[in-house]
Amino acid sequence: MDFRQKVVYQIYPKSFQDSDGDGIGDMKGVISRLDYLQKLGIDVIWFNPMTLSPQKDNGYDVTDYRAFDPRYGTMEDFELLVKEAKKRNIDIMFDMVFNHTSTTHAWFQKALQGDAKYMNYYIFKEGKAPCIAPNNWESKFGGPAWEYVPSLDKWYLHLFDVSQADLNWANPEVRKECADIVNFWISKGVHGFRFDVINEINKWSFEDDPDNFDGRQFYTDGPKEQEYLRYLNENSFGKDPDHITVGEMSSTTIEKCAGYAGRNSHELDMVFSFHHLKVDYKDGKKWELQPADFMKLKELLLSWQTGMQEKDAWNAVFWNCHDQPRSISRFGDDTKYRKESAKMLAAAIHFLRGTPYVFEGEEIGMTNAGFTSIDQYRDVESTNIYQILKEEGKDEKEILHILNQRSRDNARTPMQWDDSENAGFTTGTPWIEVNRNYKDINVRKDLSDPDSIFAFYQKLIHFRHTMPIIAYGTIRPLLEKDEKVFAYEREYEDHKLAVFCNFFVEETDIQFNTEGYELLIGNYADAEVKDTMHLRPYETLVLYK
């Protein structure tokens, strides 16, 4: 099977399964749940970083790329994990955080001591004037993107937290270090790689940003990006065509991504893009709320589908990850129609042209965290923005309401396995609170219900493995003007698939020539295939001929 027929499951290791009672998930915990993942049918597990880290940003702040953080286990645990996963035909994908390291990394520590070799691993610049940063760029986690180091009388760049210093990809030694790290993990049995914010590595100019202050136009999709990706490909994963790679692309374009993930690009297999997950950002601002703009959502999803298809390039398709609120709370209904909307959202994604990614808990319809106090939050971005909004004079209640909708912690609450204490995640105190709805929403419950969300995902994954049209068919939008229904058609040899998804609680009718079609799957028991079809709340119908 190639990557187009596979389904990736994302594990946020901190929140998946704890085995030793310290309240933090670990590799032994994952091993104990491999049978569950095999039952679901997934092919690859993508792990968020488990390497040594002070955990300011939950592992995206790496201290040592080649050693596990003891919280997650040892190299022996990992070897066992690879072996046990392999037995179940599951590959391992690792997260490579190559845009930055933690400031605790030995390279940065040497740089701080003035070691010229290692200062050149990072981006140190003179200030514009005493106490004035080199430019006006802003960190994605709030505040300026530069930090002053008095002993060097220089500033270093950090696009994320102040403890995450950006690496200097213009330095060939840095590129080589990164390729060596990938090769190290390949030698340990890792078969796939996700590259964190990889389209931000080429900082091509350091001028002030005249438009908006964050500076992204000078470091996103830079002119050397493809050269750097090709270097990585040629010197590491590209040596074996079986390795699966995905790049996380921030604020990017279809044109750029078609280049990175074109079939013959010799760069990456596929890309994550996020435009469709910003349709509920007011004026494009993450911390300002508005209801999701459904027409924009449709337009974005489908233009990426057809745009990448035209250029023979490949998307990763997904609603959820560790950085996004739960899709069901966002685009569905997480109470009355939880089951229906979870299945509808799943169908919308899984029949697309692209490799689907399932984020832990999505397959049982886990919802947003429902936190009501800032003390419940753990995410550095959330706690930073809380302070910033407070300083701007926003009301506490309003800030908590925003976090409740937007915080990354919505995705990071522990996996809900059963209705025992802490949802079966840990016997200790979980590092982040378990969602209070775990008695209603948990794996055990879903496994005992043949009509569960889990059972629906199982079917979708099975279809992708067995129906070439899903992996290889072309895609064409349907009902583009419809204001309630997201729809598209796939075609392969003599076969066709038509997917209809009502994104609303309001019922609606659609017209479609159903001659020769039969129902492949739906989320209501008694669906009928007719030229005029009535879609109930969050109903999805997938037709095949």
Binding interface with ligand TEU (CB under 6 A):
57, 60, 97, 140, 160, 196-197, 248, 250, 286, 322-323, 381
Which CB, 44 or 541, lies closer to ligand TEU? 44
Q: Which amino acid is at 438?
A: Y
Shortest reach from residue 57's CB to ligand TEU, in Å: 5
Three-state DSSP class for residue 439: helix
For 173, the enclosing helix (H) or strand (E) is helix 172-187
Alpha carbons 488 and 542: distance in angstroms, whole number? 10
Active site residues: 196, 248
Which CB, 14 or 343, lies closer to ligand TEU? 14
Three-state DSSP class for residue 179: helix
Which CB, 432 or 521, lies closer to ligand TEU? 432
Expressed in angstroms, the distance from the first to the final Cα of the chain is 24
Three-state DSSP class for residue 213: coil
Per DSSP, the chain holds a count of helices (H) and strands (E) of: 16, 24
- Laid out side by side, the sheet with 124-125 consists of 124-125, 154-157, 146-149
Shortest reach from residue 324's CB to ligand TEU, in Å: 8
Shortest reach from residue 452's CB to ligand TEU, in Å: 29
Three-state DSSP class for residue 22: coil
Please give the distance of CA 112 from its chain centroid, rounded to a whole number.
Answer: 33
Which residue has the CB atom at the shortest distance from ligand TEU? 60
Shortest reach from residue 168's CB to ligand TEU, in Å: 16
Angle at 230 between CA 224 and CA 233, to 5 degrees: 145
Alpha carbons 378 and 408: distance in angstroms, whole number? 9
Shortest reach from residue 334's CB to ligand TEU, in Å: 22
Which CB, 385 or 475, lies closer to ligand TEU? 385
Asked if residue 270 lies in contact with residue 276, where contact means CB atoms within 8 angstroms, the answer is no
Shortest reach from residue 167's CB to ligand TEU, in Å: 12
Alpha carbons 476 and 163: distance in angstroms, whole number? 45
Alpha carbons 347 and 497: distance in angstroms, whole number? 12
Those residues with Cβ within 8 angstroms of residue 265's Cβ, 6 or more apart along the chain or in another chain? 226, 259, 313
Shortest reach from residue 160's CB to ligand TEU, in Å: 4
Residue with tokens 């010229």: 116
Which CB, 278 or 496, lies closer to ligand TEU? 278
CA atoms lying within 13 Å on the CB side of residue 379 = 22
**E strand spans, 15-158:** 44-47, 51-52, 64-68, 91-96, 100-102, 124-125, 146-149, 154-157
Which CB, 27 or 167, lies closer to ligand TEU? 167
Shortest reach from residue 337's CB to ligand TEU, in Å: 28
Which CB, 49 or 332, lies closer to ligand TEU? 49
Alpha carbons 25 and 87: distance in angstroms, whole number? 22
Q: Taking Cα atoms as reference points, which of 167, 157, 155, 152 lies closest to residue 115? A: 152
Which CB, 320 or 508, lies closer to ligand TEU? 320
Q: Please, what is the angle between helix 225-235 and helix 172-187, to 10°? A: 40
